[in-house]
Structure 1
């Protein structure tokens, strides 16, 4: 039982414990409980505005102080603080500041070149002062402790890189999430903290932890573990999130009775992921099951193959029951695993044209298009397209630049290992340098949707008539790598001479497309590039694919031959460095060729 003891006036705790205490106090209906504790200090987790408001719904304003401290072990605990005394400081805030630095500490918010960012801009938070540790044991991770080129006083000569984003607004610092909380979902960079913020903004949600299960794998799943304060269901939460987030950012919601904690009071994230991974781990049909209700008897064998294949490919990423009325993309499908599904179905003797699969409104429609004959399945998809193509023109430059930038800066598989030394401006410089020959050669095209918007672009060159371009940015590392694997194939294996090899240089799509639309546009562009190659009498199409999606499409759908397959992290650049060393062993680059 909580006692109103005298003498203890200050309490330090994590926000999750504060929430539990407030819930207990409200249940006890005793205003005198813990009345002597005038100063409450939160640290170790993010203090959200809703919790701060709950505090002042119980404790009188101006008599009690709620403090938000920020720091870590490497900087001897807390290095910034923000003091709240009442509701007025919370009324127009969407987050609680982490405040100002403590005495003898300097906080820097810097860009990737260690330059201070402007007020209101987000940068990485660094701390300097005598409280900064000398480093890690055995010299581990030396990049976390760097020399401070901005310091005059030797007390601040060393910077600790916190790994957190922050910004300065109205003279106070705001925490903006972890630099390592960014992951790739369906090719897009996503900040888990942003999704977590959207989840906690829904009425009835007490707490939320957003995690990624097996990031980068085919069965990758975005998960939101939540505690609720009402009878809101998981489905209702997901529907509410669809109104706030783009489709690929909507997580699978899992309602919990409690959040597991470590001994230090912080959330045990690994325990959450492990528990999720252990649920029905050996059950091919996953926890939501397969429902064959409504399947015609004469299609039952095909339905078993289809539904079991989808269950196997989606695994725990599946969002609901696999049934004849379910839409593949609504139950967890995306661009990549749709191709895996089509390929796996072919292995079981059932074939479907990619256009039929991705445009199907439900699995019943897919079922009706399945065929035991590969040729008939392909021909069934040769229907009128919803898209048209046009050769590249000068007036399309800004649309092209936007698609190239979002596709390669935000989603590229090679550039991610060069961050933060790749910039948006680098892509404009690249496109500016090659734009005129791209237009003049009349080998590149854009794709328009029915509404007239440009949704895709395919940039192509004659492989032996490409412009000489000097790339001054870090993108040069990418192109040096590509040349190192493409050059020997182009020069020694492919047909000689100009006009024989069409180089599929870059393909990009609008970032706003759904997974189905994305694959559909790519499928259409591939057909259009093939037509162009035939019309211009090229011997074949030459390309390098670095993403699992385009590799799978190239090999299993478009019938490209893989001539060279290399492990990205083994590449040694001209300066004897390994620029992609942090890439996993599974990341490949495939040089492919398709005779026409």
Structure 2
């Protein structure tokens, strides 16, 4: 007898789930937490805000009272679904999370509105969801600016105009005198249907955004699965919230840590968009897990390779990819940097309607990826069943491709206004009421050896930077542009680095690609604006349908033409003669990277992002420049106004500086003393990385005393030097000692606090990890440059001094150079340019002096002391 074929049905573990709201769970955690346990940390523009669990609980109780009183005072009613929804238009901050938690405590649900949403999208969301109130950032944009942003553009938006608005700052100030006790159940708002927590709007299959209703119970199911499968470690203190609030992934980023007593680090948007800053932030806080889209993973890996620092992000053990297709090649690239079996790379699959994640696959070694172009999407989460069904909703056999349906405790409770009921079907295959509904994902998959493999979409939806984009919605917007006769919107190479959203347009109007794209920017969210390609005709198949493959092939052939970058208009007007060689490399590199996607001429005035660049290909551009010997930091490249500024910022060991004046070094002599005192004083007193926190107790005369005490041994040892310009002026000084033969000097000033601190961080590293004995370690003790140097000259002189220290150390047969950097510039140069090894990265505000005080306690968490070592090859 033959065996019965295995059907494509996968069931996740069954786990008990006790219904509860996330806000109530938070209150229990806050009640049992120590009063000083930090819940929220936010750093922006030098401001550091920390709120304890007790503070967050009390503040949100007061805010919740104000929200309820405002709604009841205005006699505001729930929407047509019976839901009390509060729309939130705020930038990432600690205040944002306070508002979200307060909305829940009030009994309402929150609905995020992104500042980048076009007016038409805001219009639709407000009209359909009917929020009782909108809370917004007054600090980021005043009430007038807020109204101009939305109201001026929404010329026919009666519903929005009539929706009450409340500035976050006003909400906070008017709540100060409220009771900080939690609201009783009778005081809270109550939805008509269920325990609605969040409404998230996604691109609809009809091209019209639709709101997904997410109750507390499905959030709880998703979080409880996470806590069991990927538990927080005993060393895990900080978690990051960096995902846009309109993404469902933000839910687990915020609320997972907060119902477990951990600290949430709120990452400002400018840091999230800068891979270099994001890496620094994650590394500094020893973050151990991260959720990100594959395109951001690719950016971070490129950033790590560019920095050539193998110690970065070594605490980050769990990497979770979702929102886009994760390719095997990218996963393999991950394990080129992170050791196998020590780090986990996970591929989560899902959508907003199913709480973001319903299946998962964990990779810990490369051999798991063999024979597959994309990483599997794995197995179901708790209390979830996955079905692969045919067109008649019957399970397909294992190995066959079927449409993916989801049932269980991760399903949303439908859409706002009951839209698209055909997406949530009655499950004829189950008896248990937990599995009574099926969600139709619109994805194809197959089951191989108990593991799900993704096989693409059944409709026109794709993922762009983690956002679900319906190509028909974009196509409709392009076709509506006056003068466009025909438009076809396609996605080229989804999930790959060169992924592109393309609009092939046949137009009878005298408009170019840029003009059409500018019109679309006022209609579509930024990530939905396609690259417009004008064509003379749209190719058809023999059956009369559009030949989409021919269009993609024409784009690919144009893009892969090796000579295509030379067809792009490159304009060198205004480039200085001394920079022409570098400009040719920069402009040709940009042309080769952007290629067919370049929107306009490449010139000194061109902005990289406005002419077709993005954060991913910007790092690729920097990498290629690095290969050509031209170095620029990622942050400098990202923040440059135009390519002229990029050219100016190409610093450190670049060929641009080859024409810089020559410097000479002289070993320290008595005649140099006055110049040395002047340079050391201005470098350390006026620039004051550590000294600033001891002011006014530090005096300029203290440096006279310091140099006096050190002068004789500095000259005697012959390891220190001054740098002279070609005119003979002393422009810098490098003071060095044998680390095992440093003089014991007495100083009476407050500078002792700084030297005690430096000894506390350097001593254990020096004594336990570096070679023993004299003549082994050259201690680069102090470096200073003349205050009249420009930033560019300053970097050039510092590089010369670094070379001179290396020459001295090599000549005197030292085994390596030891130093501690407290300046962000020297830290960056030491790591990225001079390739020192970081032995200790210390947060200076944590230092406790011998008198039990914290002399640098007011310093931000971002201020570090980095102890580094550079071994010298024999």
Q: TM-score, normalised by structure 2?
A: 0.29
Which of 1 and 2 has higher RCO (CA within 8 Å, sep 6+)? 2
Task: Name the larger-Rg structure.
Answer: 2
